[in-house]
Amino acid sequence: MSSTETSGLGRYRILLLTIAGAGGLLYGIDVGIIAGALPYLEATAGLDAQQLSFIVAAVLLGSVLSSLFAGFLSDVFGRKWIMFLSGLLFVLSVPTICLSQGYGVLLFGRLLQGVSGGLIGVVIPLYLAECLPASTRGKGTGMFQWLLTFGLVLAALIGLYYAHKVDGVIKFAETMADKAEAAKMIFEKKDTAWRSIFWVSLTPGVLFCLGVLLLTESPRWLFRRGKAGAALAALKRSRTPDEAQVELQEMASASQAAQPNVAGPRDSLLSRKYVIPFVIALIVLACTQSTGVNSILAYVVNILNQAGLPGSVANSGDVMIKVLNCLMTVVAVMLVDRKGRKFLLTLGSGGIVICLAMAGVLFYQAERGRVDYAEAVRPMIVQNQEGGNLSFTFDADSYQQLTGQQPAREMQATVVYAYGPFTGVQTRRTDDFPIKSVDITRSRVVQQDSVIGKFFRKLHLNPFADPADAASASLEIRKVLVGPVPDISHGWLVACCLFGFMAFFAVGPGVCVWLALSELMPTRIRSNGMSIALLVNQFVSTSIAAVFLPTVGKYGYAAMFFFWAGCTVVYFITAAFFLPETKGKTLEEIEQMFSKKR
């Protein structure tokens, strides 16, 4: 083979990895962009804790919806055009979010981003697995994850930039004599900040859409459509002619073995070769989300604030965590085709268990001293036809009235309340500027039913409450937990636990989960099997994100971290004892591993 042809293969592989992997960039922005925008949304959009949870969870919920159909659509229209569709939906979501003036439009825009992310999560790993040679498939799919982590870093840097701009306005406003004008200035700056954060993400989406048009279709999809000549041509763009011919023959042999012939009937979908890899992939993907990774990335600024780090420092910690994620993913990409998937998943899940458990212990020590003053707050409820409202401020004076003590340091109060099954949480600190009151009304807590809610309720899979169950419920103040804000050293200890968590996640599940998804599934069920597995994966993530704020408000951050650690123990056992090694094998060879008798 000539040097010109070899150079051409290398250039196309780079193009394929860059464009297809750029889908990971959009996926990372999908997940990470809300972290920097969330504090300003909370301050300006008039959303309560449950609504904020929905805004965060909307991306994951949209992913669940699109995961239902991603495999079917990619089988009908091809991997390439569904990749293009995912980028187009992302592009459309940005102006929808940035121009929104209410909760409904904002939620719809985030759902569009979620639908885009769900398509990306299924189709791009599928496309990369079917297009790349076995020797580079691990690094190639790792490139998707690396660009995903780079998207998280990019989102964090954007958030940090606007956090510093907002902090500058706050410092100036503190010097103003007219406090009402100062509060207005801060409000307007925060409103502009979260919209600008989303606007910046438009450019990567446009570039991804244009780049997809330069790629060929998946050779395995072309072969299954009866286009053997086009499949061979697609293989030759990333392989030598001899390698392409050998792989085409393997595809033909695998296809013939799965079809009915004189030797016997077609393989049952319940046979060992299909069920075992499907179940393993399902467990691995569900456990990946049960580590709490998406919620940690989305709420990392809030977590570090509650751990004791002030605003801009927490934003810096957010950036540091995501930069570490990006750097450790490079390490994982270098190791995945050398050490193998099984080793990295076992190492990563074991390290995650330790880091989550340590974070849980730190939060338990900080939270166990809080005192519940719900009895003192309940008489403040104003009874009315809506089931009751409540409004009060939490500053140094109100702290003294509530507890009968003068605060010796900064204090914080977490108010947990509910109308029937709809729970809300609001947290205030005595050093907040400007002071923002706790305002609780039925309209802010009990959400109107949605098409999505009705759909999942029919499937008995809806993690959200039914509005009908709260139609006549009265306001219930469940807890008003008051305690000191943890000191900054405690905050940095928690940050170190999160750094460790992210490092182990990047080395293990971060890269290998996409390989497990795309490599384990046999050709006959790969697209639909990946859709079902990712559906379970995203449903677990959606459920965790939707209940995160109410749960940590009611039970504390320690409970959430201990829960995630327990789920990751299951992950470690699966990786160490049940997951087979797949490095260096073609997709057809991996399929043969599960066809062998015990």
Residues in contact with 199: Cβ distance below 8 Å, sequence separation at least 6, in sequence order: 94, 98
- Ranked by mean pLDDT, the top range of 61-75, 133-147, 383-397, 517-531 is 383-397
- Measured distance CA(219)–CA(222) in Å, rounded: 5
Nearest to 59 by CA among 85, 80, 84, 35: 35
Count CB atoms within 10 A of the CB of residue 152: 31
The confidence score (pLDDT) of residue 257 equals 58
- Measured distance CA(476)–CA(423) in Å, rounded: 9
The confidence score (pLDDT) of residue 445 equals 75
pLDDT at 419 over 90: no
Q: Average pLDDT, stretch 186-215?
A: 85
The confidence score (pLDDT) of residue 486 equals 84
pLDDT at 403 over 90: no
Is residue 264 very low, low, confident or very high in pLDDT (cuts 50, 70, 90)?
very low
Torsion of CA 116, 119, 123, 125, to 10 degrees: 70
Nearest to 340 by CA among 197, 507, 148: 507
- pLDDT tens sequence across 547-582: 787 778 778 889 999 999 999 999 999 888 887 777
The confidence score (pLDDT) of residue 349 equals 92
- Ranked by mean pLDDT, the top range of 250-264, 470-484, 576-590 is 470-484
Amino acid at 9: L
Q: Which has the higher per-residue pLDDT, 349 or 402?
A: 349
Q: Average pLDDT, stretch 334-355?
A: 87
- pTM greater than 0.85: no
Percentage above 70 pLDDT, the chain: 85
- pLDDT tens sequence across 467-490: 677 777 888 888 888 888 888 888
Computed from CA positions of residues 56, 58, 64, 69, in that sequence, does the dihedral angle turn out positive or negative?
Answer: negative
Which residues pair with residue 415 across a beta bridge? 426, 480
Count CB atoms within 10 A of the CB of residue 557: 24
- pLDDT tens sequence across 275-314: 887 888 888 888 888 898 878 877 887 788 788 887 667 7
The confidence score (pLDDT) of residue 598 equals 40
The confidence score (pLDDT) of residue 262 equals 41
Is residue 587 very low, low, confident or very high in pLDDT (cuts 50, 70, 90)?
low
Mean pLDDT over the full length of the chain: 79
Peptide bond into 434 cis (omega under 30): yes
Q: Average pLDDT, stretch 514-530?
A: 71
The confidence score (pLDDT) of residue 498 equals 94
- Measured distance CA(179)–CA(410) in Å, rounded: 22
Q: How far apart are the first and last CA of the chain?
A: 42
pLDDT at 495 over 80: yes
